[in-house]
Amino acid sequence: MLTIDVAVLLAVIVFFRLRRRTQARSRVEERTTVLIVLALGVLIAPTAAGRWIVDVLGQLAGSVTQAGR
């Protein structure tokens, strides 16, 4: 039986939606893309991958803050 993770499916949808040219998008399409990305973020956030992303971004933000001093 084939199973697919909803987060992976949303990531693929986001990838293909963002590949389109910006000039060809309507406001409705842009809003739909934003909602899909937010749903993807909600699905990824509580996972190990989501925690890893938060840690990496936190380290990056900390190093940028220290470099600015």
Evaluate whether residue 1 is within a structural domain: no
Q: Specify the pLDDT at position 20.
A: 76
Q: Specify the pLDDT at position 38.
A: 86
Look at residue 37 and give its three-state secondary structure. helix
CA distance 34 to 53: 19
Q: How many domains does the chain have?
A: 1
This prediction's pTM: 0.60
Q: Specify the pLDDT at position 1.
A: 59
Evaluate whether residue 14 is within a structural domain: yes
CA distance 40 to 12: 10
Across the chain, which has 69 residues, the per-10-residue mean pLDDT values are: 73 85 78 86 82 85 79
Q: Specify the pLDDT at position 3.
A: 60
Enclosing domain of residue 53:
6-67
Tokens of 67: 């470099």
Q: Specify the pLDDT at position 2.
A: 55
